[in-house]
Amino acid sequence: MDVRVRSGGWSVGLDIGGSKVLGVALDPSGVVRHQVKAGTVRGLDGVVAGAVAAVEQLAGRAGVAVGDLVGVGLGLPGVVDVAAGTVEHAVNLGIDESVALAALVADRLGSVPVRLENDLNAAVVGAARFVEPHADGAQHDLAFLALGTGMAAGLLLDGRLRRGSQGAAGEIGHLTFVPDGLPCKCGQVGCLEQYASGSALDAAWPSRTGAPAPAEVFAAAAAGDPRAVELRDQFAAAVAAAVRVLVLTCDVRHVVVGGGVSAVGAPLLDAVRAVLDAAAGTSPFLASMRLAARVTLAPEGVPVGAVGAALVGRGEHDA
């Protein structure tokens, strides 16, 4: 597979999720110039065809030939072997066994380097673009905490992706939050993601208006609905627990909260910070860690996963 690092041209990144494909084209200076969105077609053939179509569309909008792209990056919800260009256990894409996805897409595109990355790793690379550079010149140091179907984090430590020895770094959604709590599909009970994910709120709060459950829960809580207040507070406590784990293990400077639930916006951030501030009020140690100040929301309307995938596609995070 041709993965020479090229420079000085356009790159494309795709965030291939279980329901949709989000794509961006970055100009040679790394600025997002074009975006596309399409439905995901599950199964290997559908994923390859969808990726090829999105890349061709973005290259067309950028006015460059696909063969002139410096690289293409694909963020995938599965276990990725970056060096081999393979992905497996991408259950939400209908891909189970290990497949050489990078080569399959590259063959269809011609001579463009194609790189794969786990979707959360791509997201943390993308999120890093939107946090302030550190005044002391230090490399980016942050976690991207995704609150979506499940809960998990991507880690960028001292500017480098922490993928883990088995590609499983950041799987904090399966830490126990409530002993003897709700059963989890992982086989344990009381996992964090049973309390702090979009799915958790969907399960606990049947939508009354057709709006997403997280938005409804936070709105109803603000209006004083006791059940919504209880759910919101439990949700915020679980997210705060995740933030605490990330900061106390890695001392990341920022925890950027993203995923579908982050669309709730300021009320979510306020609720999480309130839990962290309350804990700091009784613990000088936690107060010294300044947890609440480290939490931010992912930028609204920016597909950080696709942006990160494009940066990966340019070879910026080669293993």
CB of 58 to Zn ion, least distance (A): 36
d(CA 232, CA 95): 34
Nearer to Zn ion (CB atom), residue 245 or residue 289: 245
d(CA 201, CA 234): 10
Nearer to Zn ion (CB atom), residue 155 or residue 191: 191
Contact characters 241-260, Zn ion, x per CB under 5 A: --------------------
d(CA 249, CA 71): 34
Nearer to Zn ion (CB atom), residue 76 or residue 192: 192
Q: Which residues in the 189-218 window bind Zn ion by CB under 5 A?
A: 191
Q: Which of 123, 102, 124, 121 is nearest to 113 (CA)?
A: 102
Nearer to Zn ion (CB atom), residue 102 or residue 241: 241
Check residue 105 for interaction with Zn ion (CB under 5 A): no
Q: Which residues in the 15-74 window bind Zn ion by CB under 5 A?
A: none
d(CA 114, CA 9): 15
Phi, psi of 130 (to 5 degrees): -110, 5
d(CA 269, CA 295): 8
d(CA 229, CA 219): 10
CB of 56 to Zn ion, least distance (A): 39
Angle between the 213-222 and 226-250 helix axes, to the nearest 10 degrees?
Answer: 110
Hey, what amino acid is at 255?
V
Q: Which residues in the 165-194 window bind Zn ion by CB under 5 A?
A: 174, 184, 186, 188, 191
CB of 135 to Zn ion, least distance (A): 39
Nearer to Zn ion (CB atom), residue 68 or residue 202: 202
CB of 191 to Zn ion, least distance (A): 3
Task: Report the interface residues with Zn ion, using CB under 5 A.
Answer: 174, 184, 186, 188, 191
